[in-house]
Amino acid sequence: MNFEELKQCYDFTGRTIAITGGAGILCGEMACSLVSLGANVVILDRDVALADRLKDRLESGPGRSMVLAGDVLSRDSLVEVEQRIRSEFGVVDTLINGAGGNQANATTSDELSFFDLPDDALRRVFNLNMLGTFLPCQVFGKGMVELGKGNILNVSSMSAYRPLTRVPAYSAAKAGISNFTQWLAVLMARDYAPNIRVNALAPGFFITSQNRFLLTDEKTSELTERGRLIIAHTPMQRFGEPEDLIGTVLWLLSDMSSFVTGVVVPVDGGFNAFGGV
């Protein structure tokens, strides 16, 4: 493969990419990077106003972008969004399932024991992560079957490898996403089209709006005990930056990984490799 062919592997011109949770810290960076490489990118989020901070970068092209309200827990909402994308950009050939996260009342603490975690909070966290990945794969995956090719990128977690303390629903859901990624990769390749690939990222620790309460003190902005423990167990001695995910995302979505499917790739500063001693 010569230099020009290598450059073309990361030219996403003509690709139509839907990103659930696309207005978030991590997925917003993915969206801007993909637009800069020529892709038509659709950000799906329950709160479209969160994408306002990305407006200038998304409009700088050369790709095009849309921001649409969508609920990953509503099949009807997803079907409506899929039809709108078809009319504007054509069939979605790439799906990034970025919607997910944890919440405080599904997290154990000195004030809230495991035995007292409310079932509605556990259900919301599990559904948002697991069902919120499952349903978009169903809705947008049909279009990939039509095309005979496609790419699905799910978002797992370090907690899928070894469950982290305090976040039982989140850990169980992310483990489910890793398992589902492998299951769907096999289904798509064997039953529909070998060129439909399904993989996942497993980010290490990135400070976002959803985990900030666990990692930093709200009043002082200093690291909590949990935050310090994470840094102590991350060989690279820092939290991840959103940009740290982009290289892996582009590789998994490009033809440079055309023989890769059913894998979960850690991007974690060495956290998963470290045994603690």
- Give domain status of residue 247, yes or no: yes
63 is a domain residue: yes
* Residues 87-93, mean pLDDT to the nearest whole number: 98
Q: What is the pLDDT of residue 207?
A: 80
pLDDT tier for residue 46 given thresholds of 50, 70 and 90: very high
List residues with catalytic annotation.
170
How much is the average pLDDT of 4-14? Answer: 87
257 token code pair: 């990984």
Percent of the chain predicted with pLDDT > 70: 99
Please state, in angstroms and rounded to a whole number, the distance separating the CA atoms of residues 105 and 153.
28
CATH code for the domain in which residue 114 is found: 3.40.50.720
- The answer as to whether 2 is a domain residue is no
Lowest mean pLDDT among 1-15, 18-32, 179-193, 222-236: 1-15
Give pLDDT tens digits for 94-141. Answer: 999 999 999 999 999 999 999 999 999 999 999 999 999 999 999 999
Question: Taking 90 as the threshold, does the pLDDT of residue 149 lie above it?
Answer: yes
pLDDT band at 34 (very low <50, low <70, confident <90, very high): very high
- The answer to whether residue 254 is domain-embedded is yes
**Whole-number average pLDDT of the chain:** 95
pLDDT of residue 4: 79
Q: What DSSP letter does each residue of the chain carry, written as one string? A: --HHHHHHTT--TT-EEEEETTTSHHHHHHHHHHHHTT-EEEEEES-GGGGGGGHHHHHT-SS-EEEEE--TT-HHHHHHHHHHHHHHH-S--EEEE------GGGS--SSS-GGG--HHHHHHHHIIIIIHHHHHHHHHHHHHHHHT-EEEEEE--GGGTSPPTT-HHHHHHHHHHHHHHHHHHHHIIIII-TTEEEEEEEE--B--TTTHHHHB-TTT-PBPHHHHHHHHT-TT-S-B-GGGGHHHHHHHHSGGGTT--S-EEEESTTGGG----
Q: Is residue 223 part of a domain?
A: no
Q: Give the model's pLDDT for residue 210.
A: 66
The whole domain housing 171 covers 11-204+243-268
The CA distance from 95 to 16, in Å, is: 9
Residue 222 lies in a domain: no
Give the model confidence (pLDDT) of 181-204 as tens digits: 999 999 999 999 999 999 999 999
What total number of domains does the chain contain?
A: 1
pLDDT at 226: 86
| 172, part of any domain | yes
pLDDT at 209: 67
82 within 8 A of 191, measured Cβ to Cβ: no
Alpha carbon distance 142, 150 (integer Å): 10
Q: State what percent of residues in the chain have pLDDT above 90.
A: 86
Is the residue at 130 inside a domain? Answer: yes
